Chains A and B, each alone.
Chain A
Amino acid sequence: DIQMTQSPSSVSASVGDRVTITCRASQDISSWLAWYQHQPGKAPKLLIYSASTLQSGVPSRFSGRGSGTDFTLTISSLQPEDFATYYCQQTKSFPYTFGQGTKLEIK
């Protein structure tokens, strides 16, 4: 199985800040990576696929980069609704695996 490791596990930031979350795969997955946002009490939401393509309706302050084994999710200017937990997922091969999550908290 491909192992996905996110860092940090949690981060505190303020509205308006720029935040970057990292995801590392245990082997080369090219650009086969998705990011999800999970707000408490809500269904998780697909944000980004193919490492950098925004899902329809996702604000442009979200961006994804990377290929191979190292990936980032950046939120350019945090909004109150962005405080949530973020997960990466490798979409390359079975079984599909996720990172352990990064919790973005209000400072």
Chain B
Amino acid sequence: QLLLQESGPGLVKPSETLSLTCTVSDDSITNSSFYWGWIRQPPGKGLEWIGNIYHSGSTYYNPSLKSRVIVSVDTARNQFSLRLRSVTAADTAIYYCVRRVSWAAAGTLFDFWGQGTLVTVSS
């Protein structure tokens, strides 16, 4: 069974960069069928898709965050990472790493999720 595990600091200061890593187990990140990505959920709010990456390094991001986000991949370690710069309190959220699939009759959805990690932006 595929396992996704987020890791990284739980506290980030305002204006600094949030950095998280997702380790993929029981599947290869180079599997050609999948993209990998990040979704977040601020306290008391809904889910927000952040961005996705393919093992080749091809990325696409939510336009609302695009200017501040970088998602990267490390195929040797079977990991992918999120960097969100210039954070504010509004970036406080649970961050989930996900596997993205696109099926012909189903569109683009997220079939496996990590348990999520809370990142708080505070001085």
Contact = CB atoms under 8 A, between A and B. Distances in A.
Interface of A: 32, 34, 36, 41-46, 49-50, 53, 55, 87, 89-92, 94-101
Contacts, number: 63
Interface of B: 4, 45-49, 60, 62-64, 96, 103, 105-116
A44 B48 CA distance: 14
B106 A50 contact: yes
Contacts of A90: 107
The 10 A-B residue pairs with the shortest CB-CB distance, nearest first, are A91-B107, A100-B46, A98-B47, A43-B113, A49-B106, A32-B107, A34-B109, A44-B113, A96-B49, A95-B62
A58 B6 CA distance: 25
Contact of B48 (A32, A41, A98): A98
A51 B6 CA distance: 29
Nearest to A51: B106
A43 B107 contact: no
Nearest to B46: A100
B106 A98 contact: no
Given A46-B111, A96-B49, A98-B46, 12 more contacts: A32-B107, A34-B110, A45-B113, A46-B110, A49-B106, A91-B108, A94-B60, A94-B108, A95-B49, A95-B64, A98-B48, A101-B46
